[in-house]
Amino acid sequence: MIGPFRKSAPKGAGLADDEALLAAYAAGDAAARALTERHLPRVLALSMRMLGSRAEAEDVAQEAMLRLWRIAPRWEAGRAQIGTWLYRVASNLCTDRLRRRRGVALDEVAEPVDESQMSVEAALHQEARAEALQEALLRLPERQRQAVVLRHIEGLGNPEIAGIMEISTEAVESLTARGKRALQAELAPRREELGLDG
């Protein structure tokens, strides 16, 4: 059921290429732009799904990238993937923000829709599905939301998610299963309206 909302993850260069760019940046090269272009969109998308606020997501994504630049001179090659490290930092920053604003109503944010490739009716259905998913995601407990976003929207594997969330693979499986069931239950009354039957 989550499939229609999943974004395809851009294929970036490998671990060695990221580390080479980071090392070049630490040595004074302007390689930051390539790393930023490669990782910022995914960090921003994760933050948007976690927080439901574009402004807050942009702040988190920017802070995560700044932290990467600060640790560049001390980066230990081969210890962690840069993308995984950025996801962990962004996830932790999002969790901190969510904890600070507990009890405050979360903003409802519509997912941007590329209407150039679809009919008006299809675009409206896609927008309604994205809004419904975002609303349902924001009602999940933080850890379930984080696991579901990383697994079903960002397309990461359970071992990578376990590393990001600093939990076991079994805990990831449990969180994603419970989160997916909760989303299905939340969206079930609107299946026909959202065009999810079929």
What's the start-to-end Cα distance of the chain, in Å? 10
Asked whether residue 49 carries a pLDDT value surpassing 70, the answer given is yes
What is the band of 103 on the pLDDT scale with cuts at 50, 70, 90? very low
- Mean pLDDT check: name the lowest of 2-16, 89-103, 156-170: 2-16
The helix (H) or strand (E) run that includes residue 66 is helix 54-71
What is the band of 168 on the pLDDT scale with cuts at 50, 70, 90? very high
- Residue 143 tokens, joined: 């850890």
DSSP state of 197: -
Q: What is the pLDDT of residue 40?
A: 92
